[in-house]
Chain A
Amino acid sequence: MNIALRPANRRTFAKLALFSALMFGVGYALVPLYSVFCAVTGLNQIGVDRQPVNLQLDTGRVVNIEFDANVHHLPWKFRPVQTHLGVHPGELMQTEFEIINTRNEAVTGQAIPSYSPPEAAQYFKKISCFCFSKQTLAAGQVQRMPLVFVVDPALPKEMGTITLSYTFFEVEGNAVANSGDGAGKS
Chain B
Amino acid sequence: MNATANGHSDHRPSGWRRWLTTTNHKDIGTLYLWFSFVMFMLGGIMALLIRAELFQPGLQFLEPERFNQIVTLHGLIMVFGAIMPAFVGFANWMIPLQIGASDMAFGRLNNWSFWLLIPASLLLITSLFVPGGAAGVGWTLYPPLSVQMGIGMDLTIFAVHILGISSILGSINIITTVLNLRAPGMTMMKIPMFTWTWLITAFLVIAVMPVFAGAVTMILTDRHFGTSFFSAAGGGDPILYQHVFWFFGHPEVYIVILPGFGIISQVVPAFSRKPLFGYTSMVYATGSIAILGFFVWGHHMFTSGMPVTAQLFYMYATMLIAVPTGVKVFNWIATMWRGQLTFETPMLFALGFIFLFVMGGFSGLVLAMTAVDVQMHSTYYVVAHFHYTMVAGALFSAFAAVYFWLPKWTGHMYDEKLAKLHFWLTMIFFNVTFFVQHFLGLAGMPRRIPDYALQFADFNMISSIGAFGLGLSQLLFLYIVIVCIKGGAPAAAKPWDGAEGLEWEVPSPAPHHTWEVQPVVK
Q: Chain B, 411-453, contact with A by CB distance < 8 Å: what is the 0/1 string? A: 0000000000000000000000000000000000000000000
Give the residue of A2, A9, A17, A34 whose beta carbon is less than 8 angstroms from that of B102. Answer: A2
| B206 contacts A by Cβ under 8 Å | yes
**Complex interface: chain A residues within 8 A of B105 (CB):** 1, 5, 9, 12-13
Chain A, 1-29, CB within 8 A of any chain B CB: 1-2, 5, 8-9, 12-13, 16-17, 19-21, 23-28
Interface residues of B in 281-320 (CB under 8 A from A): 305, 307
Query: Is the CB–CB distance between A5 and B210 below 8 Å?
Result: no
- How many angstroms from the CA of A107 to the CA of B249 in the assembled complex? 72
Q: Which of B179, B213, B237 contacts A27 (CB 8 A)?
A: B213
Complex CA distance for A113 and B501, rounded to whole angstroms: 100
Q: Which residue from B176, B210, B235 sits with its C-beta under 8 Å from A9?
A: B176
User: Would you call B103 an interface residue if the criterion is a C-beta within 8 Å of the partner chain's C-beta atoms?
Assistant: yes
Inside 8 A of A28's CB, which chain B residues have their CB?
Answer: 214, 218
Q: A16 vs B179: C-alpha distance in the bound complex, in angstroms?
A: 12
Interface 9-mer from A39-47, A66-74, A92-100, A166-174: A39-47
Contact indicator B235/A24 (Cβ below 8 Å): no
Given contacts A17-B172, A27-B214, contact A9 B180 (CB under 8 A): yes
Nearest-Cβ distance from residue B149 to partner chain A, whole angstroms = 21
Q: How far is the CA of A9 from the CA of B104 in the complex (A)?
A: 10
| B142 interface residue per 8 A CB criterion | no
Q: Does A145 contact B (CB under 8 A)?
A: no
**A12:B179 contact, CB within 8 angstroms:** yes
In the complex the two chains form, is A12's CB within 8 Å of B175's CB? Answer: yes
CB pair B211 A23 closer than 8 Å: yes
Docked pose: A47 CA to B234 CA in angstroms: 10
Task: Evaluate whether A1 and B103 lie within 8 angstroms (CB atoms) in the complex, with A20-B210, A44-B237 already known.
Answer: yes
Q: How far is the CA of A21 from the CA of B165 in the complex (A)?
A: 11
Most buried by B among A1, A30, A34, A46: A1
Check A34–B237 contact: CB distance below 8 A. yes
The answer for the CA separation of A23 and B102 in the assembled complex, in Å, is: 31
**Are the C-beta atoms of A23 and B240 separated by less than 8 Å?**
no
- Overall SS of chain B's interface: helix
Among B210, B229, B237, B243, contact of A24 (Cβ-Cβ < 8 Å): B210
Contact of A23 with B207 at beta-carbon distance under 8 Å, contacts A2-B102, A31-B229 already known:
yes
Please name all residues of chain B whose beta carbon is closer than 8 Å to the beta carbon of A9 when the two chains form the complex. Answer: 105-106, 176, 180-181
Cα distance A98–B206 in the bound complex, in angstroms: 70
Taking the closest CB of chain A, its distance from the CB of B214, in whole angstroms, is: 3
- Is there contact, CB below 8 Å, between A24 and B211? yes
Inter-subunit contact B206/A16 (CB<8 Å): yes
> What CA separation (Å) do A103 and B179 show in the bound complex?
95
In the bound assembly, the distance between CA atoms of A16 and B172 in angstroms comes to 6
Total A-B residue contacts, Cβ distance less than 8 Å: 87
Contact A30 to B239, CB < 8 A, known contacts A13-B176, A20-B168: no
User: B93 an interface residue at 8 Å Cβ cutoff?
Assistant: no
User: B180 touches which one: A12, A27, A44 (CB < 8 A)?
Assistant: A12
Instruction: State whether A13 and B172 are in contact (beta carbons under 8 Å apart), knowing that A23-B210, A27-B214 are contacts in the complex.
Output: yes
Residue numbers in A under 8 Å from B210 (CB-CB): 20-21, 23-24, 26-27
Establish whether residues A43 and B307, one from each chain, have CB atoms under 8 Å apart when the complex forms: yes
Q: Which of A23, A25, A26, A44 is packed against the most chain B CB atoms within 10 Å?
A: A23
Contact (Cβ within 8 A) A27 B229? no
Contact A16 B175 (CB under 8 A): yes
Q: Is the CB of A20 within 8 A of B240?
A: no
B107 to A1, Cβ gap below 8 A?
yes
Residues from chain A with a CB closer than 8 A to the CB of B307 are: 41, 43
Known: A23-B206, A46-B232. 19 other contacts (CB 8 A): A1-B103, A2-B102, A2-B181, A9-B176, A12-B179, A13-B172, A20-B168, A20-B206, A23-B209, A26-B214, A27-B212, A27-B213, A27-B214, A27-B244, A31-B229, A34-B237, A41-B307, A44-B239, A44-B305
Residues on A lying within 8 angstroms of B by beta carbon are 1-2, 5, 8-9, 12-13, 16-17, 19-21, 23-28, 30-31, 34, 41, 43-44, 46-47
Pick the 3 closest A-B CB pairs, nearest first: A27-B214, A24-B210, A27-B211
- A sample of 30 cross-chain residue pairs with beta-carbon separation below 8 angstroms, ordered by A number, consists of A1-B103, A1-B105, A1-B107, A5-B181, A9-B106, A9-B180, A12-B175, A12-B180, A13-B105, A13-B106, A16-B171, A16-B172, A16-B206, A19-B207, A20-B210, A23-B208, A23-B210, A24-B213, A27-B210, A27-B212, A27-B218, A27-B244, A28-B214, A31-B218, A31-B229, A34-B237, A34-B240, A43-B307, A44-B239, A47-B235
